[in-house]
Amino acid sequence: MTPQPTPVSAAVQTLAPWQSYICHACGYIYNEAEGDPDSGLAAGTRFTDIPEDWACPLCGVTKSDFELYEAPSLDALRAQASDCATAWTNTSRSAHGVTIVGAGRAGWQLAEALRARDSTIPITIVTACAGDVYDKPLLSVALARRIAPEKLIKETGAAAARRLKLRLLPHTQAVRICRETRQLRTTRGTLRYDQLVLAHGAKASLPPALPAALCWRINHLGAYLKLREALGDAATTGPKDVLIVGAGLIGSELANDLALGGHRVTLLDVQPEPLARWHADKAGAQVLQAWKDLSIRFVGEVKVASVERLALDAERLWQPQPAGTACAGQTTRLRITTECGQHFAADEVIVAAGLQTPSRLAQSAGLAWQNGIAVEPQTLRTSDERIHAMGDCITLDGQASRFIEPIARQARTIAAAITACEPVPYEPKATVIRVKTTSMPLTLH
Amino acid sequence: MNAADLPPELAQPATPGLIDAVRSIAQGSLAGRAYAIDRGAYPVDLLKQLAAAGAMSAHLEKADGTPGDYGLAILAMAEAAKVCGATGFMMWCQCVAGLYLQASGNPALTGERLARHVRGETLGGTGLSNPMKSFAQIESLLLKATPVDGGYVVNGVLPWVSNLAPDHYFGAIAAVQTDGPGASREMMFMLRCNAPGVTLKACPEFSGMEGTGTFSVHCKDLIVGADDIVADPAKPTIARIRGCFVLLQCGIAAGIIQGAIDSMWAVEGQLGHVNQFLEDRPADLQAEFDALAGRILKLAETPFDTSTDYFIDVLDARAHGAELCLRAANSALMHQGARGYLMGSEVQRRVREAQFVAIVTPAIKHLRKEIARLSAEEMPA
């Protein structure tokens, strides 16, 4: 039973501003000032006074499927929409220019090289990330060098796009290449290209036993920033227990940096020592020596079998619960179990188990594939004459080389080919690796 | 999409009978009624005739266990949609209703009820627009089911369900109302339009596709018993058939695109001298469409693939179909000029049909949002 309105409350209601209510199902807006005369609701009928059996005049759902609606300001909506670029389909027969997939170092270096050679060629960059310009190697040393997360961005994607007079489509997935019609299908529309360059990099591998919702993979700025947020600052919120799976280059560098940042690190690998790929250089022995005063525990010759989130109230009982069921705001620990039956507990788990090139785009275009996008060594051209590829996603004779140094040279080679300048043949060469284990940096060949 | 237009390995020479039968109905009695259907005449006799010819059941598993042929079902739908997009859409409704009945594994649905559905003696549709958007985190579920002895009591309203009449039925999903903690659950059932508590209400007038038997469905204390349950919980079944659901829709787009291209060629003799100045010429559109049709028929070979990559490919093919529909229908109007702009012209009607393909669930924007969601790398929260 509804209480009878007092004269005062009735007067207050009469004076209250008119409100609007929106239909969940079809988006129809009921405006109290206008009413719904076709259904017998006079102008000025308050939503609360509408009979329960009234139906949406557009789609027929009932009153309970409506909710209060406050029209957002048009300016706010415009500002929000301008952050979201769209790929208009250019159906005219003019030049479509170069489309680059990926806005990591490879994508931006190519854009710079192209713009240096040709001030007018249309360039579009499509990227799944925000497109901000940053130096990936810094992700391994940011804590030790006390670089604040927001300082990692050298130039925002929007600013770089303005400077280079190109169109950037951030937060946009490239879905398929239609070779016959030279179209790149994306989640913000379809782009036509004259030349396409794949610079989308590689993705961190995740062994099937490890759940994605519980394990970080640090291969780009976006994921790194979220990890930093989850870890907090050891000095103010206390150190965290971090378990890193994989003691290769990335795993070892991250272990070093997180330990210098005040966290307690456990580093696991299937090999008996870290950096086992460089056993001949005695790299493992050297880093273990460098780490002797740091909070890094290395456990070799183990393979992780499972990672589970422990139930909050039963943590001491080692009671696992299904992934993703932890309540918001409550942090529970993770339990890591190895195939040989050892258990470890951690606040965060990072998996650094190598990289893999995603095959979707290359496969959709039927490009030659050899552990990655196979390119011709001197020209970096794929098996399609209008598609080049560079950076972490390519292989030369089946070999990937995922380092920084070759990228600028690759960009010069491709830019010269696209702008029809004198060819600049690419020269593959062995890369010197600097291991950024700050306390005792190593140089490996 | 003519079988003859396709690469030889994708053409379906094994069963030319069905496509011929559909073509003869489509270009015979359907052609003369397409305008009336668009304006509001629901063609129940034609739909029963098409179903009886096997046009809405080629995709279903045969009694002897032979898998259904999704490519053939799509080609049959396209053959009708070339002439009338609304009819192609209603064929899709009947196709997926049959899929739900068969996928239920419920003897009360897979026996005589499925057989009568396949023979076209009874017709049905699908009310999964809202649940599909709900699973893609676009909106929340509109039907609520309260468990009772022997079944559920369902309440709520679904806007815009098609291929309905008082003696029809459709697949629906309701959120199960459970007390206390525990994972939320949905259940899927066949909703009979003549069951007590169900009211069909007319929708406001749309700009086209008016003869599709589209109503809003109001459920007031509808009792759903075990005989009508398709899947409980619903999600595993949806995960298995979602690819089929979206892939079959490609048949509507395919027909509309080919119809539009054919109408461009129809005026090429007289108007080619001016039409040469237009973009999206018929040969260009045909080349793009043939490549897309090849992709669709390739995907149709493995409709029950539940991998994320496969589903992204299906969503993208469906989006490409809708985008090409819009371009082809619009370009056909440019090619035909004033005669295509006449209210009674198929060319004008096809523009509205193409717009329907682009906005019906999953609309182009929903498809892209879902592809983006499925492509994102999952990380700890």
User: Which residues on adjacent β-strands are paired with residue A338?
Assistant: A304
- Is residue B334 predicted with pLDDT exceeding 70? yes
Of residues B287, B372, B380, nearest to A187 (C-beta): B372
Interface test with A, best of B158, B162, B216 (most A CBs within 10 A): B216
Tell me which residue has tokens 């806007």: B159
CB-CB under 8 Å, B288 with A59: no
Nearest residue in A to B205, CA atom = A58
**Two tokens, residue B98:** 């049959």
- Is residue A65 predicted with pLDDT exceeding 90? no
Q: Dump pLDDT digits (tens) for A197-238.
A: 999 999 999 999 899 999 999 999 999 999 999 999 988 999
Nearest residue in B to A65, CA atom = B142
Q: Is A352 helix (H, G, I), strand (E, B) or coil?
A: coil
Share of chain A above pLDDT 70, in %: 87
User: Which residue has better confidence, A33 or A2?
Assistant: A33
| pLDDT recorded at residue A326 | 44
Nearest-10 Cα torsion for B303, B305, B307, B308: 0
Query: What is the mean pLDDT of the segment spanning A63-70?
Result: 89
- Is residue A251 predicted with pLDDT exceeding 80? yes
CB-CB under 8 Å, B369 with A187: yes
Q: Dump pLDDT digits (tens) for B128-139.
A: 988 888 888 888
| pLDDT recorded at residue B136 | 81
CB-CB under 8 Å, A181 with B287: yes
User: Which contacts of B312-315 are long-range, i.e. CB under 8 A and separated by 24 or more positions?
Assistant: B312/A175, B312/A360, B312/B371, B312/B374, B312/B375, B313/A176, B314/B243, B314/B246, B314/B247, B315/B246, B315/B362, B315/B367, B315/B370, B315/B371, B315/B374
* Listed range (A51-60, B69-78, B115-124, B242-251) with the worst mean pLDDT: A51-60
Taking the C-alpha atoms of residue A96 and residue A111, their distance in angstroms, rounded to an integer, is: 15
Residues of B in contact with A62 (CB under 8 A): 157, 218
- Is residue B347 predicted with pLDDT exceeding 70? yes
Q: Give the mean pLDDT of chain B.
A: 93
Confidence of residue B32 (pLDDT cuts 50, 70, 90): very high
Does residue B97 contact residue B170 with C-beta atoms inside 8 Å?
A: yes
| pLDDT recorded at residue B12 | 43
Q: Closest Cα partner for A306 from A264, A340, A331, A265? A: A340
Q: Check if B61 contacts A (Cβ < 8 Å).
A: no
Nearest residue in B to A349, CA atom = B380
Distance from CA of B114 to the nearest CA of A (A): 30
Tell me which residue has tokens 């000029």: B337
- Is residue A3 predicted with pLDDT exceeding 80? no
Q: Which residues of A touch B (CB under 8 A)?
A: 24-26, 55-62, 65, 89, 91-93, 128, 171-173, 175-176, 178, 180-181, 185, 187-188, 190, 203, 212-217, 223, 226, 230, 324, 348, 360
Q: Check if B276 contacts A (Cβ < 8 Å).
A: no
| pLDDT recorded at residue A1 | 44
Taking the C-alpha atoms of residue A387 and residue A193, their distance in angstroms, rounded to an integer, is: 10
User: Which residues on adjacent β-strands are paired with residue A189?
Assistant: A186, A187
Q: Is A42 helix (H, G, I), strand (E, B) or coil?
A: coil
Nearest residue in B to A220, CA atom = B377
| pLDDT recorded at residue B11 | 42
Q: Check if B159 contacts A (Cβ < 8 Å).
A: yes
**Two tokens, residue A9:** 């409350």
Query: What is the mean pLDDT of the segment spanning A108-134?
Result: 95
Tell whether the torsion through CA atoms of B17, B22, B23 and B28 is positive or negative: positive
DSSP per residue over B204-224, as a string? PPPSS-TTS--EEEEEEEEEE
Confidence of residue A71 (pLDDT cuts 50, 70, 90): confident
Of residues A62, A65, A213, nearest to B380 (C-beta): A213
Q: Dump pLDDT digits (tens) for A79-96.
A: 766 666 666 544 445 589
Q: In what order do the strands lie in the sheet with A320-321?
A: A320-321, A304-310, A334-338, A343-346
Q: Is the pTM of this model over 0.80?
A: yes
Q: Give the mean pLDDT of chain A.
A: 88
- Is residue B20 predicted with pLDDT exceeding 60? yes
Residues of A in contact with B319 (CB under 8 A): 185
Q: Dump pLDDT digits (tens) for A137-159.
A: 889 889 888 898 889 999 999 99
DSSP per residue over A109-148, as a string? HHHHHHHHH-SSS-EEEE-SS---EE-GGGGGTTTTTT--
Q: Check if B165 contacts A (Cβ < 8 Å).
A: no
Of residues A185, A203, A230, nearest to B377 (C-beta): A203
- Is residue A311 predicted with pLDDT exceeding 90? no
Tell me which residue has tokens 């290769």: A248
ipTM: 0.89
Interface test with B, best of A56, A178, A187, A330 (most B CBs within 10 A): A187
DSSP per residue over B13-77, as a string? TT-HHHHHHHHHHIIIIIHHHHHHHHHT---HHHHHHHHHTTTTTTTSPPTTSPPP-HHHHHHHH
Q: Dump pLDDT digits (tens) for B239-287.
A: 999 999 999 999 999 999 999 999 999 999 889 999 999 999 999 999 9
Residues of B in contact with A55 (CB under 8 A): 157, 201, 216, 218
- Is residue B228 predicted with pLDDT exceeding 70? yes
Query: H or E stretch including A388?
Result: strand A387-389
Quickly list H helices, B82-210.
85-104, 107-110, 112-118, 129-135
Q: Dump pLDDT digits (tens) for B181-217.
A: 656 899 999 999 999 999 999 988 999 999 999 999 9
Query: H or E stretch including A409?
Result: helix A405-418
Confidence of residue A324 (pLDDT cuts 50, 70, 90): very low
Share of chain B above pLDDT 70, in %: 95
Confidence of residue A62 (pLDDT cuts 50, 70, 90): confident
| pLDDT recorded at residue A12 | 61
CB-CB under 8 Å, A62 with B157: yes
User: Which residues on adjacent β-strands are paired with residue B57?
Assistant: none
